[in-house]
């Protein structure tokens, strides 16, 4: 599903996409059709700077999505890829502003803290849950 918005508007991102099929679960919206853009979660505000489209992010049986925090203060965190088939892999990469240290950043995967090291990467393998 694609929703279009005009430049200059501030929108509240909603989570209702009108699909009652139960075969896919709605996660949020993305700014790019290949899901490589910014993730937007239901309830967040979005200022439209230019004409843009939002694309529904859904996962079904056997597909999973890596969700990173929408707002990141003092660090950046990305996942590549963000959409994975069951049993697939993804790499989380992070970086900190010079004013921050690794000790100040705690990354948890499904509620479990992950040890950070000098590679600035966390390898997720055999993914079987969001």
Domain co-membership, 67 together with 45: no
Which of 11, 42, 61 terminates a domain? The answer is 61
- Which pLDDT score is estimated for 100? 74
The average confidence (pLDDT) of the chain is 75
- Which pLDDT score is estimated for 24? 72
Which of 35, 61, 87 terminates a domain? The answer is 61
Domain co-membership, 73 together with 117: yes
Domain co-membership, 69 together with 122: yes
Is the overall model pTM greater than 0.75, yes or no?
Answer: no
Domain co-membership, 55 together with 77: no
Domain co-membership, 33 together with 73: no
Closest CA to 27 of 12, 39, 45, 11: 39
Please give the residue range of the domain that contains residue 119.
Answer: 62-130
Domain co-membership, 89 together with 126: yes
pLDDT at 25 over 60: yes
């Amino acid at each position: 599903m694609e929703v279009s918005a005009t430049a200059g508007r501030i929108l509240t991102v909603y989570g209702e996409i009108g699909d009652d099929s139960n075969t896919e679960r709605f996660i949020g919206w993305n700014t790019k059709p290949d899901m490589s853009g910014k993730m937007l979660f239901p309830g967040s505000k979005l200022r439209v700077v230019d004409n843009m489209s939002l694309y529904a992010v859904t996962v079904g049986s056997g597909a999973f999505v890596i969700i990173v925090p929408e707002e990141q203060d003092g660090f950046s965190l990305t996942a590549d890829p963000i959409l994975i088939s069951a049993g697939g892999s993804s790499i989380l990469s992070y970086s900190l502003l010079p004013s921050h240290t690794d000790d100040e950043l705690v990354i948890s995967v499904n509620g479990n803290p992950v040890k950070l090291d000098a590679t600035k990467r966390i390898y997720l393998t055999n993914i079987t849950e969001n």
